[in-house]
């Protein structure tokens, strides 16, 4: 069984400030972890993923995330927020190679607003 907890349903930052979106997971098998972004009335766009190997993963639009097994976390960061980063962000976990059909379990999402 897998689950994802995103701490903070709403995060507000100023333009140029650090973005930190928190994600903790639980998984009975080594996880695959993902961050997706969703703009209003649109589908999900993959920001980055962790499967195996390097625990610090870089994604699109300047985002990165670090897999910390000891903390069961996969927090998303960006050094400097841009107005265009305002969107809903979802953390997701899959059971990796041991997961059934590679189904994704999503967190409840974090709405990021960026203030000018």
Partner 1 sequence: GAVVSQHPSRVICKSGTSVKIECRSLDFQATTMFWYRQFPKQSLMLMATSNEGSKATYEQGVEKDKFLINHASLTLSTLTVTSAHPEDSSFYICSARDRTGAPLPLHFGNGTRLTVT
Q: Site residues (CB under 8 A) for partner 1?
A: 32, 34, 36, 41-46, 49, 51, 90, 94, 101-109, 111
Q: Calculate the CA 109 to chain-centre distance.
A: 9
Q: Residue 7 CB, nearest distance to partner 1 (Å)?
A: 14
Within 10 angstroms of residue 105's Cβ, the number of other Cβ atoms is 18
CB closer to partner 1 out of 24 and 105: 105
Q: Residue 91 CB, nearest distance to partner 1 (Å)?
A: 10
CB closer to partner 1 out of 35 and 85: 35
Q: Residue 42 CB, nearest distance to partner 1 (Å)?
A: 5
Rounded CA separation 58/31 (Å): 18
CB closer to partner 1 out of 17 and 44: 44
What one-character DSSP code corresponds to residue 83?
A: G
Q: Residue 101 CB, nearest distance to partner 1 (Å)?
A: 5
Nearest to 33 by CA among 2, 74, 89, 5: 74
Compute, in degrees rounded to 10, the torsion defined by CA atoms 66, 72, 73, 74.
Answer: 50
Rounded CA separation 57/81 (Å): 18
CB closer to partner 1 out of 73 and 110: 110
């Amino acid at each position: 069984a897998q689950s994802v907890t995103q701490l903070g349903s709403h995060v507000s930052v100023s333009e140029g400030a650090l973005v930190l979106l928190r994600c903790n997971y639980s998984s009975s098998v080594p996880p695959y972890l993902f961050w997706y972004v969703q703009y209003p009335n649109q589908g999900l766009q993959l920001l980055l993923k962790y499967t195996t190997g390097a625990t610090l993963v870089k994604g699109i639009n300047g985002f990165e995330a670090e897999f910390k097994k000891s903390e069961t976390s996969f927090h998303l960061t960006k050094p400097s927020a841009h107005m265009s980063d305002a969107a809903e962000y979802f953390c997701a976990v899959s059971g990796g190679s041991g997961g059934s059909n590679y189904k994704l379990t999503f967190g409840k999402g974090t709405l990021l607003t960026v203030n000018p």
